[in-house]
Amino acid sequence: MMLCTLTDLKTYLGITGDTQNDFLNMLIKQNSAMIENYLGYPLQRKENSEVHNVNNDQLLILDCQPIQSVSEVKIGGQEIDDYKIIPKYSKTGMLYRGLGWCGQYYTRGMTYDVVSGVYEIEVDYISGYYLPGDTGYVEGEESSLPYDIMSACIMACAEAYNVKMNNAEGIKSYSEGGISTTFADGGTMADCGLSAKICSMLVDYRRQAVA
């Protein structure tokens, strides 16, 4: 899983030769994984089959985002089609149903759904994005990885590359003879090792905690 291409990273770094290709590809894979961990959901386009509980809410929170398409939804084994994929919700992995995600044959009203909590909602859907390098990738399309995330990956790789080239791994500051040098912070565990700059580029895409 690579969130940017080798060609784009080499262009950003001003590298023209091929001698460092293996190392740069490793950086892309490492930083792609760190970004995905920070965001909290798989980024690559994939098919999903999930089972969720009846909750009587109008929004069903799926495990992955964004929702690109839904092939089938069942409640209690019965297929339904009265749900909607609304962009502002589907971007964060939520499927809308006006009647509420209540049990089969139950009419949503003033009383609480007697089967709420039972895992009988089945959803088959496609989530994620076409990544740079994938056949279906078209920059700017809703189905393709946002440019912000791709740019963050390029910059994260560049940070790691420059630290390596300066033999500065693990060093935050160095001073000698009146000359002082400070290197980028590697981030915290909560940031999955990403710098504050990279996190600021990604924060709007981060998976929101569900109470």
Residue 166, pLDDT score: 84
Q: If pLDDT is split at 50, 70 and 90, which confidence band does 203 have? A: very high
Mean pLDDT of 4-14: 97
Q: What percent of the chain has pLDDT over 70?
A: 81
Residue 192, pLDDT score: 78
Residue 106, pLDDT score: 55
* Predicted TM-score (pTM) of this structure: 0.82
Whole-angstrom CA distances from 189 to 34, 59, 69, 84, 206 are 11, 31, 34, 37, 15
pLDDT in tens, 119-147: 899 999 999 999 999 999 999 999 999 99
Residue 177, pLDDT score: 47
Please state, rounded to an integer, the average pLDDT across all residues of the chain.
86
Is residue 162 helix, strand or coil? helix
Q: If pLDDT is split at 50, 70 and 90, which confidence band does 111 have? A: low
pLDDT in tens, 143-197: 999 999 999 999 999 999 999 888 755 445 444 444 444 444 555 555 678 999 9
Q: What is the dihedral of CA 161, 163, 164, 167, to 10 degrees?
A: 160
CA distance 124 to 72: 5
pLDDT in tens, 75-87: 989 999 999 999 9
Greater model confidence, 12 or 175: 12
